[in-house]
A and B are shown apart, each in its own frame.
Chain A
């Protein structure tokens, strides 16, 4: 075959390939077509073998034509493949879904609201260096009452209507304060603890439960002041309920503190316009959150701590009350029923 004819055939294959390529739309078809032309047994290769029969002086020209066609095919393939990728990507981008259908969830469980309150409170007091202390729920009269200045037959005991056990020899603790006594009896000052835990009183209505949770704080050291108590509780309220809230102390009586106070915080539920309709504070703009005071010398003496050298403060708060205030829980029973519909809300 003369050189000119060979070159003509090569060019013919080139255009034939280009024509065939146009209609193809998969990479596999393109690769197959490419193999038909450029493969070892392909049609271009077949012509290539003809080149060997040509006189050496014409081979160079044919060789150039051969390379041109080969490059042309390879270029066309690359171009076509690029185009296919673009088309495929464009098609992929066309996809839409219904994002409003439910997601496939593997839910974690829920930490009980009271545990959340407890943990948060413990963490806030922890920032100030208070350490967690615990004690038993079935207590004796000394730790629960006597050491705390509740004399036998004292009317103050009426306010803590007590469940007794073992014919009155033991009782269900009515507050977490026995943990104060246990700690002071077993540890030298300085003492800086918070004691969360379940307590029991014979009381049952929408805001009182026969079992409820308290957190108690105690600080005993030289030079502890009433103003320090105020500072610690103010810090707590700001951290837990809101930075802009203030507290006030109202004088009150608890046998184990002197001076004693009830602690109110500003109501954060009043609307600006009219606090008189506020159901939380009943129009007073204050809500009670804690009882507190300076540890009475009688208590220190009972615990063999010198009240001349050491002073201290104690405070106690109800976890339910805090949760009810912050999360709007209206019936205290919700906390103890194990109702999934309640537990999984928080």
Chain B
């Protein structure tokens, strides 16, 4: 909410000079945060109040007027050319920026020829002085400026210098949605005394008629409308509000319209009570009824929109039809207009939820609905009505009809809340003396008495709907006493941690980073098209993502069902920015529907594109084995050793059917897949070059267990190579199986050194394989003779079973 510092100052007696800065600091520190501090009216100089002496059309231009003005009662006149259509008749008062004046933005005025006639400075419009955004005409001062001396500095004389606070009012502080509430807070914080504006009607009341004789009010739904105060003001003349009121309204972000409308807005911003002014003559049947809408009822609101109503909407009706959408917006039929002379002023109280539902459904967020949604004090309704009636009478030259119609079936009384001082200290960590507590509360309008030792009885005015419990009072005491006076202590609680951290997740993460992959954290949502692009088989539950009811964009309209979608998107993002070496992984949740509701399993996904890393095979294309190596790095990172198997998987999803494998754990359970991204998916994602990757279902993987140490070898090993020529289709796993089937006790390890397929050196359909077998036993040094015998046996079994030849 926007607040004017001048306005606030009127409502507090500080007993000393308080600067706007000090006020803003105090409010911010007490929880009404000043988000923006904006001085207005101080960024121009040399603008004075001047009187128009004569005006005539410019001889050389249709739209310009030659104006003679003077800035002292008996002084010389000066010629100013004005382009505005609303130059007043002689005697009218305007704001004249004289030569030498500096306008907002540092623009300095001089004398300037306009179509052949020299103009000394200019007559100012609102926007030129930074006072508003109106540029339809120059500012013409009203009757109220008649007594101001000519030549007076405009900013000072008209009170244009002000500071606007943009305040962030917490949702529970409806009382601070008016200047009086903020002023009360300032008074409490800065040792001042809060004041109320004048609402004494005795001098403006016309006792010849009574309000009761003009209108009757009935409330059909007292839960939705606990109170309705109606007052009538007659003999009014509609015109522009005085400049001071216009200026205040502009400063709080409200556009001035006319005195009769402006007063309702002014009092709302002053007291926080929304008001509505009806043209009394346009109300039919001399009655007001507050009721819920009938099904399929319609009404046209002030903004010319025809609104379809539902039965939850609360209406203000006259004798015939709805005349306002309660608490949200007025209706067209009873709108204040040029002919209005009698106003029926509504100061009502509406229940928050009712107003909120209607405002939300219609997308009508008004200053009025904003306040009602946050609960307005029903006991403030009559005061606001009096205050507005007084202003209407004063500014519109009318009289207030005696009395009011005040329907308030169930009076809401202030509540008593008790507070234990010991509890206050235990909760806050500071000890505040009882006298200070009482005084602190009193400054907030909360009357406290120590009824019994250490227990206060506090009477909470209805304006403070946010206080209903002991803890709310404690908050109030500590807040006003000052959060900065609370010391910083450390809690005494010690809790023995019981949850075992998920080592698997931590280790997989560390292994991926060590293996050269950078971590990506993509959105939890993705686009339906990205899921489609993964071309998953029919019936795969990853094809039916969880949809967001109200997404912001289509790209973020469903929850991701795998990490592939956003990670492949990230590869494209990088390649489009000429980053070709992509090594990314993400460890995160995916969202799937399971038999027992939504599941959020954690997965690890990795993508790689570009060339192989520079040191082993500099500049070579990536291949399957780079990705497989990365899988083994992770598995070793988690378990210490690699205990997984890789099996061809022609039914792989996302991956190339011939260049991919399932990853199986030691029990044969599938825990993931690795391989080249399917060429058509690569195309859909618009990826350059072959891309490889893997996916691990972390949740399916066993937790790492402690391994037992194997004694270090004490005797040397002997290695023997075997080089064979075999059919191309024989996988290395088969060679290992045959070697292992020999169950040679001396054999310690098997390693492949070469898989050789160069057609220049091996016959067609064949490949060369070079293996190293290492022999060792734990209790003695082996001799060549023993090893040769064992090796020969293995070699012949290989040749025989594989149909291989020696190479």
Q: Does A133 contact B (CB under 8 A)?
A: yes
Q: Does A74 contact B (CB under 8 A)?
A: no
> Contact between A163 and B550 (Cβ–Cβ < 8 Å)?
yes
Q: Scoring A residues 87 to 124 as 1 if CB is less than 8 Å from chain B, else 0, what string do you get?
A: 00000000000000000101111111011000000000
> Contact between B31 and A133 (Cβ–Cβ < 8 Å)?
no
> Using Cβ atoms and an 8 Å threshold, which residues of chain A touch B581?
340
Interface-forming stretch among B405-413, B451-459, B572-580, B734-742?
A: B572-580
Partner of B475, one of A111, A250, A259: A259
Cα-based distance from A115 to B567 in the complex (angstroms): 17
> Contact between A249 and B484 (Cβ–Cβ < 8 Å)?
yes
Q: Does A335 contact B (CB under 8 A)?
A: yes
> Contact between B471 and A170 (Cβ–Cβ < 8 Å)?
no
> Contact between B489 and A231 (Cβ–Cβ < 8 Å)?
yes
Q: Does A178 contact B (CB under 8 A)?
A: no
A-B residue pair count with CB separations less than 8 angstroms: 242
Across the interface, name the chain B residue whose C-beta is closest to A163.
Answer: B548
Partner of A231, one of B352, B478, B490: B490
Q: Does B644 contact A (CB under 8 A)?
A: no
B523 to chain A: closest CB distance in Å? 5
Q: Scoring A residues 231 to 247 as 1 if CB is less than 8 Å from chain B, else 0, what string do you get?
A: 11011000000000000
> Contact between B552 and A251 (Cβ–Cβ < 8 Å)?
no
> Contact between B524 and A110 (Cβ–Cβ < 8 Å)?
no
> Contact between B520 and A338 (Cβ–Cβ < 8 Å)?
yes
> Using Cβ atoms and an 8 Å threshold, which residues of chain A touch B589?
137
> Using Cβ atoms and an 8 Å threshold, which residues of chain A touch B559?
138, 165
Partner of B615, one of A106, A260, A296: A106
A284 to chain B: closest CB distance in Å? 9
Q: Does A272 contact B (CB under 8 A)?
A: no
Q: Does A172 contact B (CB under 8 A)?
A: yes
Cα-based distance from A168 to B498 in the complex (angstroms): 35
Q: How large is the interface on B (under 10, 10 to 19, 20 to 34, 35 or more residues)?
A: 35 or more
User: Given A131-B495, A210-B556, A226-B427, do A168 and B486 touch, yes or no (CB 8 Å)?
Assistant: no
Q: Does A128 contact B (CB under 8 A)?
A: yes
Interface-forming stretch among B119-127, B166-174, B272-280?
A: B166-174
Cα-based distance from A255 to B374 in the complex (angstroms): 13
> Contact between A227 and B549 (Cβ–Cβ < 8 Å)?
no
> Contact between B483 and A224 (Cβ–Cβ < 8 Å)?
no
Across the interface, name the chain B residue whose C-beta is closest to A107.
Answer: B516
> Contact between B495 and A190 (Cβ–Cβ < 8 Å)?
yes
> Contact between A344 and B519 (Cβ–Cβ < 8 Å)?
no
A297 to chain B: closest CB distance in Å? 6
> Contact between B488 and A227 (Cβ–Cβ < 8 Å)?
yes
> Using Cβ atoms and an 8 Å threshold, which residues of chain B touch A111?
509, 513, 519
> Contact between B516 and A232 (Cβ–Cβ < 8 Å)?
no
Q: Scoring B residues 421 to 437 as 1 if CB is less than 8 Å from chain A, else 0, what string do you get?
A: 00000111110000000
Interface-forming stretch among A25-33, A51-59, A150-158?
A: A150-158
Cα-based distance from A137 to B591 in the complex (angstroms): 9
Q: Does B766 contact A (CB under 8 A)?
A: no
Q: Does A191 contact B (CB under 8 A)?
A: yes
> Using Cβ atoms and an 8 Å threshold, which residues of chain B touch A250?
28-31, 33, 483
> Using Cβ atoms and an 8 Å threshold, which residues of chain B touch A231?
487-491
> Contact between B552 and A204 (Cβ–Cβ < 8 Å)?
yes
Q: Does B638 contact A (CB under 8 A)?
A: no
Q: Does A317 contact B (CB under 8 A)?
A: no
Partner of B524, one of A172, A234, A339: A172
> Contact between A297 and B171 (Cβ–Cβ < 8 Å)?
no
> Using Cβ atoms and an 8 Å threshold, which residues of chain B touch A274?
none
User: Given A248-B484, A253-B170, A259-B478, do A106 and B516 touch, yes or no (CB 8 Å)?
Assistant: yes
Cα-based distance from A164 to B784 in the complex (angstroms): 74
Cα-based distance from A159 to B172 in the complex (angstroms): 13
User: Given A153-B356, A250-B33, A338-B566, do A225 and B429 touch, yes or no (CB 8 Å)?
Assistant: yes
Q: Does B709 contact A (CB under 8 A)?
A: no
> Contact between B499 and A131 (Cβ–Cβ < 8 Å)?
yes
Cα-based distance from A211 to B581 in the complex (angstroms): 27
> Contact between B518 and A104 (Cβ–Cβ < 8 Å)?
no
Across the interface, name the chain B residue whose C-beta is closest to A152.
Answer: B353
Q: Does B507 contact A (CB under 8 A)?
A: no
> Contact between A115 and B574 (Cβ–Cβ < 8 Å)?
no
> Contact between B491 and A109 (Cβ–Cβ < 8 Å)?
no
Q: Scoring A residues 114 to 150 as 1 if CB is less than 8 Å from chain B, else 0, what string do you get?
A: 1100000000000011011100111000000000000
Those 10 A-B pairs whose CB atoms lie nearest each other, nearest first: A227-B429, A338-B570, A251-B31, A253-B170, A225-B429, A338-B520, A259-B475, A112-B519, A249-B483, A228-B491
A sample of 18 inter-chain contacts (CB < 8 A) reads A104-B614, A106-B516, A108-B513, A110-B519, A131-B495, A156-B172, A159-B171, A192-B495, A202-B552, A210-B556, A225-B489, A228-B491, A251-B483, A253-B171, A338-B569, A338-B571, A340-B579, A343-B584
Given A112-B520, A131-B497, A165-B547, 20 additional A-B pairs, CB 8 A: A108-B513, A109-B583, A115-B509, A128-B491, A131-B495, A131-B499, A156-B172, A164-B548, A165-B548, A211-B525, A219-B493, A230-B429, A230-B489, A231-B491, A232-B491, A251-B483, A258-B475, A336-B522, A338-B584, A339-B579
